[in-house]
Amino acid sequence: MFNNSLLVIPSIDIKQGKTVRVVHGIPELNCEQYGDDPVDMARIWRTENAKLIHIVDFDGAHDHSKRNFEVVKEICSSIVIPVEFAGGIRNYEDAIQIMQTGISRMAINTMAIENRKDFIKVFEKFGPAKICISLDIKNDELIIRGRSENSGISYYDFTKEMVEIGINRFLVCDISRNGTLEGPNIELSKKIAEITGAKVTHSGGIRNKDELKDIQKLIPIGVDSVIIGRALYENRFPCQKLWRVAESGLFN
């Protein structure tokens, strides 16, 4: 059963220990002070009443580096809300190490495709509450390895396989829309929710509160949350008001 609350999840993208984006348009925040520190950024979003934070490790996704694990650990110890992690988890050892940082959930992409044996082992250890699948999609094809390689695999059959294994949440991103502010591919998230019966977190393309209203209409079929990056960093909506409205169900 779903209620009328859409969970809004800020994304913090980390590269070489720094946040990729800075906050614009918020007079109270000095970008030189806060703009490059992921830990400060996490604290800011917590102050703005975020209930969950999504972290993307760009270095891990692209070169399988673990240089940002200590930063992730510091974030987890600095805020009292759950942290979701994505980027570069390719084997069982990677999964164990990142879980030891204190994250609440990891989103897996490449490992589920290229290293199914280890993925099953990770899933059996941590279960569906701790493991979800990140779907980076372009023209119906799954894109892997930090969105740098085509997998040749259709998301349609792959998501069904994952549900059979026990996965109950997908993070869905049309990568042609991600970070472009060209609008979300809501139909893609809707379709995946319908064919899998699983919960879906939408990611990519969100520009304003009206698009959040559109996504909220999909809560009854399982699209219950949305990851927002650039629009928040560019202050496209007053953050405190955003969460107050989204979580009170006033979008009806």
**13, 59, 94, 174: which is the annotated catalytic residue?**
13
Measured distance CA(20)–CA(133) in Å, rounded: 23
136 an active-site residue? yes
Q: Nearest Cα to 184, choosing from 175, 193, 195, 192?
A: 175
Contacts of 174 (CB under 8 A, 6+ apart): 137, 138, 184, 185, 188, 204, 205
Which residues make beta-bridge pairs with 15? 18
13 is catalytic: yes
Spot the catalytic one: 118, 136, 174, 224: 136
Give me the phi and psi of 60, to 5 degrees please.
-65, -40
Is 25 within 8 Å of 234 (Cβ atoms)?
A: yes
User: Catalytic residue positions?
Assistant: 13, 136
